[in-house]
Amino acid sequence: MKNNLITTMMFLIVALSITVACNSSNTDSNQLNSNQNQKNDTTKYPIDILDSNGENVRIYEKPEKIIVLDSAAVEILFAIGQGDKIVGTHSFVTHPEEAKQIPKVGDAFSINIEKIIEQEPDLVYIFFNKFAEDLNKNQLKVLYIKTLENDFSNISDQILMWGKITGNQDSAIQLSEKFQDQIENIQSKINYQSESPKIFIDTTDLWTSGPNTLMGEVLELLNLSNIAHDISGYAQLNPEIIIERNPDFIITPNPSTFKNNPAFQEISAVKNNKIFTLQSDALSVPGPRFPEGINELASLIYPDW
């Protein structure tokens, strides 16, 4: 109880200071950009969007103020030139640079309902159903779409959906075509007949992703054989299994976990010094940068990528 109280108080203080800091600059840019976007206005409202509960959410007119509690959706909106419609995000949004200026109205575990109401949004987009009830109670229009857990080709559907919602279908179609081209381009460079190198993706502490995850699918696309092929979702793999399955490549944020542990010296990735660290977080956000992430991983594995 005591913990909760202190945490809430500290959160309030931080939240207040962010509101004060961000409010003034945000309104100016809204007015500047809205003129440019009108020519792409191709959607006929009202529109119906199917949410992850299987219910239709009807949007009556073009939303001008959107709260987006999802990193991928923020990236999509900025990529189709609608970033200025976002009036609130959650605290884990890192990309693009402009998104950092947007007020933070929640995080993965909680939302600040008062700050959301204060922004008077036309639409609140959430990836986690828990918040829906609170938001609905306050007469807010809520769109709940679960974060993609697998099947990354759905990213292009989400791009098109945002194009429809924001009345910006031309740029959305362009972006989604670009996305599909990038994926096809990657596919065309891979020789699926050749033997697939074995790979271990370490998130930290031997936690890894199974085949039914976005990362698992990326490995399949790149003709890599995931040594964690028999786990579901995310789990901590037993170190013995890693030695036995002997990966040719290891991707990890902490190479020293493998390089400094005498137990792992016989693994071919360690012997041949094929331990790499991904520099960008593109593969952890299923948005328009996702193909960049796939390319980064591919360039670490295939020398002439």
- Where on the chain is the footprint of another protein (CB under 8 A)? 2-3, 6-7, 10-11, 14, 91-92, 107-110, 203-207, 228, 230-231, 234-241, 243-244, 246, 253-257, 261-266
Q: Of 132 and 243, which has the nearer Cβ to another protein? A: 243
The C-alpha R_g of the chain, in whole angstroms, comes to 22
Render 124-157 in DSSP notation, one character per residue.
Answer: EEESSGGGHHHHHHTT--EEE-PPP-S-TTHHHH
Q: How far is the CB of 74 from another protein (least distance, A)?
A: 14
Helix/strand/coil for 60: coil
Looking at the Cβ atoms of 109 and 192, the one nearer to another protein is 109
Are 107 and 91 within 8 A, CB to CB?
yes
CB-based contact 52:132 (threshold 8 Å):
no
Q: Give the length of the chain.
A: 305
Q: How far apart are CA 109 and CA 130, in angstroms?
A: 9
Q: Are 150 and 281 in contact (CB under 8 A)?
A: no
Q: Is residue 106 within 8 Å of 70, Cβ to Cβ?
A: no
Q: In angstroms, what is the minimal distance from the CB of 123 to another protein?
A: 24
Could you tell me the maximum CA-CA distance found in the chain, to the nearest angstrom?
Answer: 64
Q: Please, what is the minimum distance in Å from the beta carbon of residue 46 to another protein?
A: 35
- Closest separation between CB of residue 226 and another protein, Å? 12
Min separation Cβ 220 and another protein, Å: 19
Smaller CB distance to another protein: residue 178 or 245? 245
Q: Which is nearer to another protein, 3 or 191 (CB)?
A: 3
- Of the two residues 34 and 238, which places its CB atom closer to another protein in the complex? 238
